[in-house]
Each structure stands twice: as C-alpha cells, then as structure tokens.
Structure 1
Amino acid sequence: MKKYLFLFIAVLVLGTVLSACGSSNGDDGSKSSGGDKKKGFKVAMVTDTGGVNDKSFNQSAWEGLQKFGKDNGLKLNTDYKYLQSNQASDYEPNLNTLVHNNGGYNLIFGIGYLMEDAVKKVAAANPNTHFAIVDDVVNAKNVTSITFKEEQGSFLVGVVAGMMTKTNKIGFVGGEKSALIKKFENGFKAGVKSVNPKADVLVQYAGSFSAADKGQAIANSQYGQGADIIYHAAGATGNGVFNEAQNRKKKGDNVWVIGVDRDQYDAGMPEDVTLTSMVKRVDNAVEQLSKDAMNGNYHGGENLQYGLKDNGVGLSEHHDHIPDNVMKKVDDYKKKIINGDIKPPQTDAEYKDFLASLK
C-alpha cells in the first residue's frame, strides 16, 4: 500500500513540475510570440503621382513612416519602404507588389485621394491584408481612412493673408480640382474675407499635382495681376509657385508663398519667400497608425479625422514674418473654430452662405 502511495505522490509531483514548466513555456512563448510579431511587422506606402519628394503630403507621409521604422529598429526597404507612382496606372500594381512580394506587408498606405479606386479594388481582393488611405474614405473592414479638416487650417492662413496683403489681391493655386482641394480653397477664402472684406482672391487650378511648370506659370500670372501672397494646395505643382516667388524676390518684388501639408520653409529659401505653411500632420497620423497596427490594433473600417482640436492641422512653426497682432488674431479664430462658434466652409455653396453671414 505504501508502495502505491509513494508512486501516486511521485506522479503527482512530476505532473505539477511539468505543468509549471508548461506554464513557463507558455508565458515565454506568449512574450516571444509578441516579440516575434513585433519584429516581423512590415509596413509600406505607395505615393501618388506627386512623388515622395513633392515637399508636400507624400514627403510628409514618408517622413512619418521613416521615423516609425527607425524608432522601432526596422530595416529600410525590407521592413518599411515606399513605392513611387509615376502615373495613375502604377497605383494598383504598386499596391499588389506590396501585398504579394517580400512575404507581404502587414499594413499598406495609399497616399492621396487619387488612390481611392486602387485601394478599394486591391483591398477587396486581399481581405487578409490591412490597408490605409490618406485624404479619402474607403468603406471596407480592412481599410483605415485618414482624413483632415483642411478647411480649418486653411481658414487660419487665410486670416494671415487677409491681414498682411498690401495690394488686397491674394492668389490660390490648386492642383486637381476636387472636393478635397475645394476644402483648402473655400476655407482659405473665408479666412481672408473674415478679416479683409475688400481683398480679392484669385483662384486657378493646374489640373495636376506634379506639374511645377504649370504652377510657376499660374503664379507668374497671379503675381502679375497684383497678388502679393499666394497659397498653394497643389503638391509638387506648388514647387513652381515657390520658384516664381524666388525669381521675383531676387528682382526686388515683395511677394510671399503660403506652403501646404508640411512646413515648406526650406522650399522658400534662399530668398526667404515662405510666409508660413498650413501643415497637415500626415507624418504623425502615419506614424501613429503604424504603431497601433504593430501592436495589433489596425482600426479597420474606421475613419480617423484630424483637425485643429487634435493638432492635426494648423500653422507651421516657421512664422517669423507674421506680426504679433496677426498671430493673436489667428489664435482668436482658432479658439472660435474649436469651440464651434465658426465653421469654416468646405464647398462653394457653404462659402456663399458664409459670405452672407458676414454682412
């Protein structure tokens, strides 16, 4: 009897030890699995036709992705990378390349509203891959949409332009005419008119986000008509606006450019023609979404929208040429927008109503 009791106790003790070992392995395995998951995470982006060096939102997105990759020890061109689109027909092949090559990427960004159709199609064909699109909304369970309240930030730089113009003529240069760029235009015009009803805003679209020559030609025309400040929302086309402003500044003309999407202070050098920029923190949004995805939270099917309240849009840090009284007025309007006392217009119809409300 004692013999059997001893065997029973031995088996019981051995089982407990094995169970403990199994539990330890399970914990380690879980941590290791989490670590492996983190180490194996890969993220990439596809630019629109503006290119990664557009000094605008493509570049901002890539800067955010680079920061994420470096901060988390990922390998460039293996764990994080970008593919550049030279034409619209490149969007879908580029997305598919990232889905299927190099073992496939966990999260793939499509940068720009022009990629909506391609993201929608590729996401539908690959339901197990997570995608994100910047500047548009794709309603799919495996797509996160990132949008901004561009009209709010544009309103504020409109206040700056309206108060600082010497000629009462101000320019706006758009890339491709769309509901998105109309938000920039109408928010900007509303800001101008709020502080300077006499100002005239000249508006022209280039029909492209990658035509610096057209941007320069439009800027030449608007400056020639007396505009002393031009706000562009035109991606790489806006580089031409800066070129024209620098050429004129060299000749002694006192002209300015308001940049867009990222701080475009450098684009205005060496002639120092950047008055300020309406920054849209695409970099922060891309970086944060990548962090969340790496930790297993992909926000699939959600629309993450960023405005003044979230510091998602606003003036750039470089605004040394703006007097204190103008910045105070900007801060006053910022508070009113955040509080809901002012709603900057997005569409032509809303802008018309906004103008009527000023009378």
Structure 2
Amino acid sequence: MRRGLKISLVTVTGAALLLSASACGGKKADTGGGGDDGKKTLKIGLAFDIGGRGDQSFNDSAAAGLDRAKKDLSVQTEEISAKPDEPDADKESRLRLLANKGYNPVIGVGFAYTTSIIKVAKEFPKTKFLVVDADQCKVEGANVSGACFSEEQGSYLVGAAAALKSKSGTIGFIGGVNVPLIVKFYAGYQAGAKKAKPDIKVLPPKYLTQPPNFNGFKDTGLGNEAAKGQLDQKADVIYHAAGGAGIGVIKTVGAAGKWAIGVDSDQYNQPAVAGVKEQILTSMIKHVDLAVYEFVESVAKNTFQAGTKQYDLKNDGVGYSPSGGHVDDIRAKLDELKAGIVSGTIQVPTKA
C-alpha cells in the first residue's frame, strides 16, 4: 500500500469525510460506533477489483450492493481500488489497512483477492471477510465467506439469444483475461448457442490479455480492437466478459450496427454506452450486488456462516436482461432453456 493514499469515507447519512491512510499497520480500531438511533454502526471496508467504482460492470455491481446496505442498514464504509498488475502483497496491505482501522466486515471484490483474504483473515480472527468470485469456489477459515457464481448458466442463455438473433450465422466472444473464471463464460455461451442453433458458427474466444497482465479488464482500446477483429470475421453478435474493457467492445459493435451482449450489470442502462444502447441485445446479469448485500446483512444480524455460497439460475444469482425489448420475441425459448437448467435436464459445461 502506498503511503499517503487518499480514501473517501462515506457514512450512512451521506456525509463525506476525507481521510489520509498513512500506514497499513498500527493498532486495531474499535469495530463500530453508535449510530444516531443508538444502534451499533457496522463499518464496512471494501476493496475493489481493477477499474474500481465506475467501471459500469463488475465493480459497479458490487458497489450497488454496498449502496443498498448504506440505505437499508446502519453502516459506514470505506472503499479502495486495486492497481493493474499489482502483487498479492499490495492486496494484503489493503485488506490489513481496512481491518486495522476497525472495518468489520471486509470485502474483496474479484477472484484475485482469494489468497490474500485467506491469509489476512488468519491475522484478524474477529473480523468477517468476503471474497466475491472466490477462486475455484474455495475459501478457508472460520471467518471467511466466498460468493461464487454459475456464470456459465447465464452465459448459456445469452449464447442461445445470440444464435437465435444472428443473421450472418457467426457470433463472437471477447474475454478480458484468459483465466478459468472467464473460460466459464465462453463455455456456457458456446453451449447455449449450439443448443439453440446447432449450425451456428462460434468464433474462437479472444482474450485481451494473459495473466499476470490483468489490463484486459480495464483497457477499452483493447476491447475496441478485438471487436473490430471479430466483426471482420462476420460476427454480428459479440458477447464480452471483459469488465471495463468491454465498454470498448460495446461501442465498436454498436457503431457497426451489430448486436453486443453486456455482462455483470444491465449495460443497456449505463451512461458510457448510451449512444449505442439500442444495439445491446441483452446482458448476462451477475448479481454481485445481491452477494455483497446478503453478506453484510448476515454480519449485521449475526447470522454469518463461513464457507461458500453459490449464486445460480435457481436462486436468480445470474440471469439475462430483457431491457430494450430486443429479446422479447425469443423469451419463451430462453425461459424454456432456463427451466431445463434449473431442473437439471440441461447440464452446462464450465470448460470449452
């Protein structure tokens, strides 16, 4: 953690205080103060993934859950964003900073926090931790919870939508970084497309960067260039799972008059793509907001349980957006496929 980092602290009343976090160590702060109504105020520390609040995708979904907690519960929060290509030591320092200042619970947004949270949680046994997108859906520790998502199930449905809406017979996929998590998106997308239209051509997946370079979740220019490449291969529907870099995908695909499919949040309603919103066919919704809120609520109500929780089609943890009405004519088919997945008659792959 760099010394002198400026961090914004937001209270439930909406007042903003500017703090200077001058060190990552030090004496632990009290775990919570009293609110105006005499109730204990929960202090929530949240460490974002690359791109932070405002990425209009994955991080913003987490932020929405935090904002809901601020509205519904007696809480105050502190947020810190990650830096591209940072080492695990920086993530650990960020988590220790929040825990040392008395934030409890502490949330790490993104699978890259998994190892760091498991390590730091051992140092703060009284602090509850959540890792969103727990790597391989595994966590350790009596004070650690992991939120996992069946991205392949939601991707299966938007893959079916892509195939059914394609006029060229060719569709594409752009992933931010070539990691197992993003491969799940492609695996489900390809399977859903083939189920809906067996003769559909699904282009090989394009991953913007390879680990340890995670800039593929942020660089819109990379998304733009990748989209041009798939458009040149006659794809007329392109699905992205690239976080903030996906904004470049959507803009380029939309400007070409083809269909884009968003991810994580309902991207039809996001300002960054307002000019091409009518070219957003649908979005694969991943309710990170629900996972964050339910975790905070469990800590507030003393119902916290360690271990992982799966968010899937059965509990509406993933799904697709009907915004814009562009999939209205095929919703019956999509809902039929959803029912098959929920009942278990359709098994969705997690590897391509």
Asked whether the two chains share a fold, i.e. TM above 0.5, the reply is yes
Contact 2:322 2:328 in 1 (8 A): no
| Equivalent in 304, 329, 337 of residue 333 of structure 1 | 337
Distance in 2, matches of 1:83 and 1:327, equals: 39
SS in 2 for 1:162: helix
* CA shift in 2, pair 1:39/1:329, >3 Å: same
* CA shift in 2, pair 1:213/1:34, >3 Å: closer
* CA shift in 2, pair 1:329/1:94, >3 Å: same
Distance in 2, matches of 1:160 and 1:319, equals: 14
Any unmatched runs of 5+ in structure 1?
Answer: 1-32, 249-253, 349-359
Distance in 1, matches of 2:72 and 2:328, equals: 37
Show CA shifts across 1:262-282 (max 9, x none). 100034422222110010111
Instruction: Give, in angstroms, the shift of residue 115 of structure 1.
Output: 1.3
Distance in 1, matches of 2:78 and 2:193, equals: 40
Show CA shifts across 1:101-129 (max 9, x none). 2xx11111110101112212211222221
| Equivalent in 264, 269, 280 of residue 266 of structure 1 | 269
Contact 2:250 2:261 in 1 (8 A): no
Quick one: which amino acid aligns to residue 219 of structure 1? A
TM-score under structure 2 length normalisation: 0.82
> Paired residue for 1:135?
133
- Is 2:282 the partner of 1:276? yes
Show CA shifts across 1:201-245 (max 9, x none). 121001221111111110011011111111111111111101212
Instruction: Give, in angstroms, the shift of residue 259 of structure 1.
Output: 0.5
Distance in 2, matches of 1:34 and 1:55, equals: 31
- Is 2:77 the partner of 1:80? yes
SS in 2 for 1:97: helix
| Equivalent in 250, 262, 286 of residue 292 of structure 2 | 286
Runs of 4+ deviating beyond 4 Å:
33-38
Quick check: which one's strand share is greater? 2
Distance in 1, matches of 2:131 and 2:287, equals: 14
Distance in 1, matches of 2:195 and 2:182, equals: 20
SS in 1 for 2:267: coil
Question: What percent of counterpart residues are identical?
Answer: 38
SS in 1 for 2:335: helix
**Within 5 Å, which residues of 2 pair with 1:342-357?**
342-348=346-352
User: Which structure is larger by alpha-carbon Rg, 1 or 2?
Assistant: 1
Distance in 2, matches of 1:343 and 1:269, equals: 36
Quick check: which one's helix share is greater? 1
Number of residue pairs matched by the alignment: 303
* CA shift in 2, pair 1:36/1:266, >3 Å: closer
Contact 2:254 2:280 in 1 (8 A): no
Quick one: which amino acid aligns to residue 94 of structure 1? R
TM-score under structure 1 length normalisation: 0.80
* CA shift in 2, pair 1:80/1:111, >3 Å: same
- Is 2:104 the partner of 1:98? no
Any unmatched runs of 5+ in structure 2?
Answer: 1-33, 210-215
SS in 2 for 1:42: strand
Contact 1:48 1:91 in 2 (8 A): no
Q: CA RMSD in A?
A: 1.9
SS in 2 for 1:129: coil
